[in-house]
Amino acid sequence: MRAIDPSSGAVVGDYPDHDDDAQEARLQAAARAARAWARRPPSERAAPLREVARLLRAQAAPLAELMAAEMGKPVTQGRAEAEKCASACDFYAENGERFLAPEPAATDFSKSYVAFEPLGVVLAVMPWNFPLWQAFRAAAPALMAGNGMVLKHASNVPGCSLAIERLWREAGLPEGLFASLLVGASKVEGIIAHPCVAAATLTGSVAAGRSVGEAAGRNLKKSVLELGGSDAYLILDDADVALAARVCAQSRLINGGQSCIAAKRFLVVDDVRGEFERRFVEEMARARVGDPRAEDTQVGPLARVDLRDEVHDQVERSVAAGARLLLGGEVPRRTGAWYPPTVLTGVRRGMAAADEEIFGPVAAVMPVRDEAEAVAVANDSAFGLGAAVFTRDLARGERIARHELQAGCCAVNDFVRSDPRLPFGGVRDSGYGRELGVFGIREFVNVKAVCVR
């Protein structure tokens, strides 16, 4: 596997793939370690989680450098990502025992309760966009629940994959319980079928989700799928438009726009559209694009040149179908995977910017008449990951967020973000199952009824 710096095209490192023998040895070792780990009480399992949190904080700077080198994330955001991983590990170390405590059930038995027992080794297939966060948010609850984990990370971040394995080892996790597999996507189906693997979780594209879901189904193994999104942000007639423009630009540009829960479609009612577009374009144009290693950079390059080309193709197809460019939309003449903050308006269903997920700094403004049309357009999507609504009427906002929008995470007057304390996941093509919170730790357990007469 080769890691390439997307800001320059330079080779960062070459890593030999794990061959079939190495893969087999790692799967066997993980299954062996998981059998012993499952018998350790939750209070003991919490110790390496606390220690890995400490290491993540202590090593935030070099980890951020590594992410900048392999996928172009600005170092300030990389350090914040390491801190967020630490907070998730602390959260499960702190609360895991409580989440896993048996729940008594009143039945005809003299004693009956529900216990949460580990399943075994979970395969985690992860994407490159938050190379640490995606892996830690899957690993922390799975390990705390008594499982083992093998990580098949995205092929463009092999250094991050090995760094994650090293962090768990340094944190004192039993040898082999968490293992990185440097293998390509074609190996995933076979790994799911392997008798050492009990379940699979994937964060990634819809296509990858379908293939992992199919393989898990064929092998009757539990799966969780966190897939793409095309989050709609509704800007209503009574919105604080300045706030909406600021928050929408922030949400669209985080991680260079390469986030599943980035705001992607902006459904702006006609009354405020002129003001919103003016302010939003100002905010998007103000973002500092540049060297991901510079402390003041807000937007780095995209992760790979082929992905940048895909984003540009989506913009060009949208313009050809009638969308209008308000900002950006041109590939800069420089080496690397650069793309500028871009705003399209006049976007409608049938255009790439409305129907497909754009994984880059491209915003699609979709004009709507009123609240009813905004809700209808928001829900008229294959995806259902996140959504947000901007209105000064909080009761109205909450009603829309709770009852109208068909998505897994909905915000009022703010952007959607993941938080270890809240469940995270989507509906429809955005996948199934939940990560984080109490729901996340209960995905990969045997929910066992124990009855004593």
Q: What string marks each residue from 395 to 434 as x (binds ligand NAP by CB under 6 A) or -? A: ------------------------------------x---
Hey, what amino acid is at 426? G
Based on the shown chain and the rule CB under 6 A, indicate whether residue 383 belongs to the binding site for ligand NAP: no
DSSP-derived secondary structure letter, 289: B
Interface residue with ligand NAP among 46, 69, 88, 126 (CB under 6 A) is: 126
Stretch in the footprint of ligand NAP (CB under 6 A) among 103-111, 204-212, 398-406, 442-450: 204-212
Q: Which position among 95, 203, 223, 255 is part of the footprint of ligand NAP (CB under 6 A)?
A: 203
Residues 14-73 that bind ligand NAP (CB under 6 A): none
Q: Is 410 a catalytic residue?
A: no
User: What's the closest the beta carbon of residue 260 comes to ligand NAP, in angstroms?
Assistant: 3
Q: Please give the C-alpha separations between residue 246 and each of 138, 141, 212, 223, in angstroms, as whole numbers.
A: 31, 34, 37, 37
CA triplet 130, 133, 136: central angle to 5 degrees?
140
Q: How far is CA 391 from CA 127, 277, 343, in A?
A: 34, 17, 22
Q: What is the DSSP string of 391-435?
A: -S-HHHHHHIIIII--SSEEEESS-----TTS-B--SGGGEES-B
Nearer to ligand NAP, 31 or 311 (CB): 311
- Nearest-approach distance from CB 199 to ligand NAP, in angstroms: 15
What CA–CA distance (Å, rounded) separates 19 from 16?
9
Contact range with ligand NAP by CB under 6 A, out of 110-118, 184-192, 275-283, 365-373: 184-192
Among 205, 250, 379, 413, binds ligand NAP (CB under 6 A): 205
Task: Using CB under 6 A, count the residues that bind ligand NAP.
Answer: 28
Asked if 149 contacts 177 with a C-beta cutoff of 8 angstroms, the reply is: yes
Stretch 133-172: interaction string toward ligand NAP, x if CB under 6 A: -x-----------------xxxx-----------------
Q: Which of residues 339-358 bind ligand NAP (CB under 6 A)?
A: 357
Nearer to ligand NAP, 153 or 312 (CB): 153
Write the CA distances from 371 to 89, 257, 353, 384, 395, integer angstroms: 40, 26, 21, 18, 14
Helix (H), strand (E) at residue 349: none
| Residue 185 found at the interface with ligand NAP (CB under 6 A) | yes
Per-residue binding string, ligand NAP, 218-257, x by CB under 6 A, is --------xxxx----------------------------
Catalytic site includes residue 226? yes
Which of 30, 56, 197, 212 touches ligand NAP by CB under 6 A? 212
Q: Give the sign of the dihedral formed by CA 336, CA 341, CA 347, CA 353.
A: positive
Give the whole-angstrom CA distance, residue 307 versus residue 389: 29
Angle (nearest 5°) at CA 391 between 385 and 395: 90
How far apart are CB 359 and ligand NAP at their closest, in Å?
5
Stretch that binds ligand NAP, among 123-131, 268-276, 280-288, 387-395 (CB under 6 A): 123-131
3-state class percentages of the chain: helix first, strand second, coil last, to nearest 5:
45, 20, 35
Which one of residues 125, 200, 216, 354 is an interface residue with ligand NAP (CB under 6 A)? 125
Active-site entry in 165, 226, 371, 435 = 226
CA distance 340 to 361: 7
Pick 427 or 451: Cβ nearer ligand NAP: 427
Residue 154 or 249 with smaller CB distance to ligand NAP: 154
Question: How far out from the chain centre does Cα 154 lie?
Answer: 13
Quote the tokens at residue 298: 């807000």
- The candidate with the shortest Cα–Cα distance to 262, out of 234, 282, 236, 233, is 233
Give which of 337, 333, 334, 254 is closest to 302, Cα–Cα: 337
Residues labelled as active-site residues: 226, 260
* Contacts with ligand NAP, residue ranges (CB under 6 A): 125-129, 134, 152-155, 184-185, 188, 203-205, 208, 211-212, 226-229, 260, 357, 359, 385, 431
